[in-house]
Structure 1
Amino acid sequence: MLLVAIIALLNAAIYQAPLYGYAAARQDTLSFSGALTLGTLYVVVAFVTATLLALAGLVSQRLLKPLCMAGAILNACALYFIQTYGVLLDKTMMGNVVNTDLAEAWSLWHPKLLLYVAVFGLVPCVLLARIDLRPVRRVRLAVFALVAVVGGLGWIYAASSTWLWIDKHARSLGGMILPWSYTINLARYQTAKWAAERQADPLPDATFGSDEKTVVMLVIGESARARNFSLYGYGRATNPQLAVSGAVALSNTSACATYTTEAVLCILSHDDPGLRLAGSKELLPSYLQRHGIDVFWRSNNWGEPPMRVASYERAKDLEAGCVGSLCTQDDLLLQGLEQRIRSSQRGKVFVVLHQSGSHGPAYAAKVPPSFEVFRPVCKSVELDRCTPESLVNAYDNTILYTDHVVARAIRLLQGLDGIPSTLLYISDHGESLGENGLYLHGTPIALAPDVQKEVPFLVWMSESFKRRKQIDEARLARGTAHSQANIFHSVMGAFDMRGGVYAKRLDIYAIGAPQSDGR
């Protein structure tokens, strides 16, 4: 029991610096109220830790030392990322962690992480290994857990004046308490994921207004923020090719989430997936495939939900047989794509390109050397060590490269011999570049700054497509509010699909036309 008490007290003292720093920055710590709030946070962390460790000891006392050692290592890693990038380890951030592949995980590596693991992880592990545990009767452990609960609740009741402040900041505080932030939120994320992966309920069938050959391409960007696109008035020429491509920039577009998994789910859903109480609904690629459309997905990313498509290829699968300067990064997504579209035996083709885009923190590694235009460039993953200028330069180069990739995709569609075609580009979420001490993305949507929520939304249409749909580009560009919810219904509209779940008010092509049918 003494070991449990000591570990609980040390955990509350050693690993909670971001928690106390957050509270201290928002209160007068020299006042009685401020000091009481800090004390309450310490007591809550200590008594929760002590209680849960005691309960674990009731299951198996032999597991206590390995459990505490694992907690020390994980706490050390979590502490590094919280202090380095200002992240919150809430449910959304744990979704990012789970869905990060090996290449992206390696891009986060820095020698300072090893220092954190050594000091805050390995040293406690060595000390724990030297301790001999003596078995304790389970009754005594149960009494200890009860005393910890009563003592903790007693303190909380006595410090009731702190409740209002803690409740107001609960979402931020909950993402900083180690180890409970990442353990509890990982369980919450995984539970939600299992629920989402259950057999999707089919959506109501739709019909086609025409059987004319049509190609629709959806490019899903990564971590691109609208305010760094020159198409939206940014001072730098980050979109030189798209500016002359005929693409229309749709204004005021908001993302439904600040991490890839949830945002991609929103892009592919006919409604807000967060509103569903049970089960899951058929997503756009599966829905189109079931209706006879040739659907293929190419990815240089991760976090994609379960779906049924004719073809799924990753960028590494496209490397074979690729020769030349366009066989790297997101350029690979276009390898052999024109031939693949032309060879389709279906009248309607839907292509999805899921970019790696501007995912940080290794922005400089996201672009070929020829796109390192804005200099000097931050090449460290410790973004707070970079100058603001070099960090923005590195990020802007990724936007410049995205401009190149999307413009290449447009030129590919332009070469399809007059086949009506259109391209939609939308980013999953935005990115923080040090504003208010935040970096990267994944901040809970209710707390996220605008730069993580405001995303670019572009549309390009071939001349034959515009004639068929009677699209007025000026009318389309005058739209004042857009979201990721537009994608599902706009793709349906592009393929002349009606009925089912089609909502005309969310179809940008219907908005850009003087008249159209549908509901």
Structure 2
Amino acid sequence: MKSPHTDLPRSSISLSVYIKNGFRTKRSTSSFIIIAALLNAILYNWPLLSFSINNLDGLTLNGLHTIFTVFVVIYLETALALYLLFLISRRLGKNLCVILALANSLAVYFVVTYNVILGTSMMGNVFNTKFSEASPFLSGKMFIYFVVLGMIPAWLIIRTSVLKTPRLRLFLHLILTLFISVTWVWFSGSTWLWVDKHAKQLGGITMPWSYVGNSIRFQIQKDEENVEQTPLPNATFRSNKKTVVVLVIGESARAEDFSLYGYQRQTNPLLSNSDVITLKNATSCATYTTASVKCILSYTNTSHLFGKNFEPLPSYLQRQGIDVFWRSHNWGEPPLKIASYINAKDLEKNCEGDECNYDGVLLSHLAEQIKASKKQKIFVVLHQSGSHGPTYYLKYPKAFEVFKPVCRSVELSNCTHQELVNAYDNTILYNDHFLDQLRTILKGLDTASAFLYVSDHGESLGEDGIYLHGTPYSIAPKQQYTIPFLVWMSQDFIKQQHISVDKLKARAKTTQDNVFHSVMGAFDMRSPIYNKDLDIFAKAKTP
């Protein structure tokens, strides 16, 4: 009997059978690995191609050789990894390919949409972001990326039967791939100077190695931080005078959008007409929250002290007999041993007014809590939600939407630059109101008091096509680490500490490293770890 497909071209017959079988296909293990590695290089690494083209001196023969080498290396390292996985288990290898297809699609979306680098710092952002902060990133464009680059390839992988191949043959293929890899690298030495120069950028957009490798690195760092905290040396107090110190940890605030730092827009109308002191040339330790907050609360940079994890400032002060209150509208702080930690959800229960869903909730009944303390020395930390993107327009009450029109899209590149800046500047305007309210509260205590405001890091608003924060520090734009650092002191505090306001204003440079020792100085604390050179108040004493 004549086949119904006899008169059809062979390619049509194959496609017809392929569709009839529900897109099922069979592949040898080596064939599957080669196709998977090639598709990974092509489907998910075109942002890397775009970066390479933009950073080479035109499409010269040498430039094309460099691009080709980069892609060959991506293919070969992916193939090597897959050979190793399939040597262990076909099921493991296939399932991991499905997971990576889905993860790659989301990673490519963020790289393309926000021009981010998926380095260790960015992966730290990912793992420390709660759903309430992540949900604004959801968009139709993300869904399209997830379906086209994620779900469809994953489904095709699932429908592919990987035939059993002798392990010896797979091992020989692995050796051959390794030999080709080493040979290609050896004969492409002329390209490695360019690769080395752009290593951080390339390493942060190569799929899936960017987020896989840097996730592992971040977890290793996290495990080191989870080592039991080492207590710091006990302190003594040179005086027992009543003192209240408030540390406000801002979020994603960059100095260049503060009129206090010379910005042409009036984003600080209240603070500009107050006795708040602006410290010049302030910088952050990192470009993401967890690392920056750890730095702010540490007595020294412990990155070079492997396995050491010293207690943070609030825990240290609590242990020395100071009343410590932490109020949080954010997260990312290290483990704390303090008596009072209150998050925004709990504060909202007794909050009244229009600001209870914003950072204003942190000030709710703050004066009452301070006055109820029986201690002579009180330390308060207010951890803001601040100017965290991409939904800047949700970070302030409607009354503070002064600069218009504003960006209301999570795909920031879809907004004009001015709309994006308008939305961001409104968050700074609201922060101005917040800090002025705090100043009023402290003045009403009628005791020696001060506040330090320091942002955890800055923010990119599309400069050079980069958005948000978390770019590796060594290549981060200045907007991500140049931060505001403000100080306010009551007259009683100034007299008690013998502060010269003019000396404090004249400081040439300040960093987050100054916070720990300045707080110690404000409380007249002394211990072997106290560093007078890092105490901004000690350096501003009158003769």
TM-score range, shorter chain: over 0.9
Shift of 1:321: 2.6
Q: Distance in 2 between matches of 1:125 and 1:238?
A: 48
Residue 241 (structure 1) aligned with residue 275 (structure 2): no
Q: Which residue of 2 aligns with 1:201?
A: 230
Give the counterpart of 1:85 among 96, 114, 124: 114
Letter of the 1:485 partner, please give it: D
Task: Give the gaps of 5 or more residues in structure 2.
Answer: 1-29
Q: Which residue of 2 aligns with 1:31?
A: 60
Shift of 1:310: 1.3
Give the counterpart of 1:57 among 86, 89, 93: 86
* Contact kept in structure 1, 2:106 and 2:145, CA below 8 Å: yes
Q: Distance in 1 between matches of 2:155 and 2:252?
A: 40
Q: Distance in 2 between matches of 1:366 and 1:217?
A: 22
Letter of the 1:47 partner, please give it: L
Letter of the 2:480 partner, please give it: Q
TM-score (norm 2): 0.93
Q: Which residue of 1 aligns with 2:474?
A: 446
Residue 268 (structure 1) aligned with residue 297 (structure 2): yes
Q: How does 1:131-146 map to 2 (within 5 A)?
A: 131-146=160-175
SS of the equivalent of 2:248 reads: strand
Larger Rg computed on CA atoms: 2
Residue 47 (structure 1) aligned with residue 76 (structure 2): yes
* Contact kept in structure 2, 1:265 and 1:273, CA below 8 Å: no
Q: Deviations over 1:32-54 (max 9, x none)?
A: 21011101111111111111111
Q: Distance in 2 between matches of 1:360 and 1:267?
A: 21
Q: How does 1:332-351 map to 2 (within 5 A)?
A: 332-351=361-380
SS of the equivalent of 2:303 reads: helix
Shift of 1:60: 1.2
Letter of the 1:391 partner, please give it: L
Q: Deviations over 1:283-337 (max 9, x none)?
A: 1111101100011111111111112111111101111132222312101111111
The alignment of Structure 1 onto Structure 2 pairs a total of residues equal to: 514
SS of the equivalent of 2:336 reads: coil
* Contact kept in structure 1, 2:326 and 2:381, CA below 8 Å: yes
* Contact kept in structure 2, 1:91 and 1:188, CA below 8 Å: yes
SS of the equivalent of 1:273 reads: coil
Q: Deviations over 1:427-458 (max 9, x none)?
A: 01111111111111111110011111100000
Q: Distance in 2 between matches of 1:272 and 1:407?
A: 32
Residue 331 (structure 1) aligned with residue 360 (structure 2): yes
* Contact kept in structure 1, 2:355 and 2:397, CA below 8 Å: no
Shift of 1:29: 4.6
Q: Distance in 1 between matches of 2:483 and 2:464?
A: 19
Q: Which residue of 1 aligns with 2:9?
A: none
Q: Distance in 1 between matches of 2:330 and 2:175?
A: 48
Letter of the 1:443 partner, please give it: T
Give the counterpart of 1:415 among 441, 444, 455: 444
Residue 102 (structure 1) aligned with residue 131 (structure 2): yes
Q: Distance in 2 between matches of 1:145 and 1:263?
A: 43
Q: How does 1:280-359 map to 2 (within 5 A)?
A: 280-359=309-388
Shift of 1:403: 0.8
Q: Deviations over 1:390-438 (max 9, x none)?
A: 110000000001111111111111110x211000000011111111111
Q: Which residue of 1 aligns with 2:465?
A: 437
* Contact kept in structure 2, 1:76 and 1:121, CA below 8 Å: yes
SS of the equivalent of 1:288 reads: helix
Two-structure CA RMSD over aligned residues (Å): 1.0
Q: Which residue of 2 aligns with 1:126?
A: 155
Q: Which residue of 1 aligns with 2:179?
A: 150
Residue 217 (structure 1) aligned with residue 242 (structure 2): no
Shift of 1:278: 2.5
Q: Deviations over 1:225-277 (max 9, x none)?
A: 00110111111111111122311000000111000010111101111132322
SS of the equivalent of 2:247 reads: strand
Q: Which residue of 1 aligns with 2:192?
A: 163
Q: Distance in 2 between matches of 1:47 and 1:224?
A: 42
Residue 232 (structure 1) aligned with residue 264 (structure 2): no
Q: Which residue of 2 aligns with 1:479?
A: 507
Q: Distance in 2 between matches of 1:18 and 1:375?
A: 33
Q: Which residue of 2 aligns with 1:503?
A: 531
TM-score (norm 1): 0.98
Give the counterpart of 2:491 among 463, 482, 485: 463
SS of the equivalent of 1:282 reads: coil
Q: Which residue of 1 aligns with 2:16?
A: none
Q: Distance in 1 between matches of 2:350 and 2:194?
A: 60
Q: Distance in 1 between matches of 2:254 and 2:452?
A: 16
199-208 or 21-30: bigger deviation: 21-30
SS of the equivalent of 2:249 reads: strand
Q: Distance in 2 between matches of 1:385 and 1:119?
A: 21
Q: Which residue of 2 aligns with 1:401?
A: 430
Q: Which residue of 2 aligns with 1:186?
A: 215
Q: Deviations over 1:452-488 (max 9, x none)?
A: 1100000000110011111111111011011001100
Task: Give the gaps of 5 or more residues in structure 1.
Answer: none
Residue 175 (structure 1) aligned with residue 208 (structure 2): no
Q: Distance in 1 between matches of 2:193 and 2:59?
A: 19
Q: Which residue of 2 aligns with 1:513?
A: 541
449-458 or 275-284: bigger deviation: 275-284
Q: Which residue of 1 aligns with 2:23?
A: none
Q: Which residue of 1 aligns with 2:102?
A: 73
* Contact kept in structure 2, 1:255 and 1:484, CA below 8 Å: yes
Q: Distance in 2 between matches of 1:325 and 1:23?
A: 49
Residue 113 (structure 1) aligned with residue 171 (structure 2): no
Identity of aligned residues (%): 50
490-499 or 239-248: bigger deviation: 239-248
Q: Deviations over 1:93-119 (max 9, x none)?
A: 000000001111001111100000010
Letter of the 1:88 partner, please give it: I
Give the counterpart of 2:453 among 411, 425, 435: 425
Letter of the 1:4 partner, please give it: I
Letter of the 1:294 partner, please give it: D
* Contact kept in structure 2, 1:245 and 1:410, CA below 8 Å: no
* Contact kept in structure 2, 1:18 and 1:176, CA below 8 Å: yes
SS of the equivalent of 1:466 reads: helix
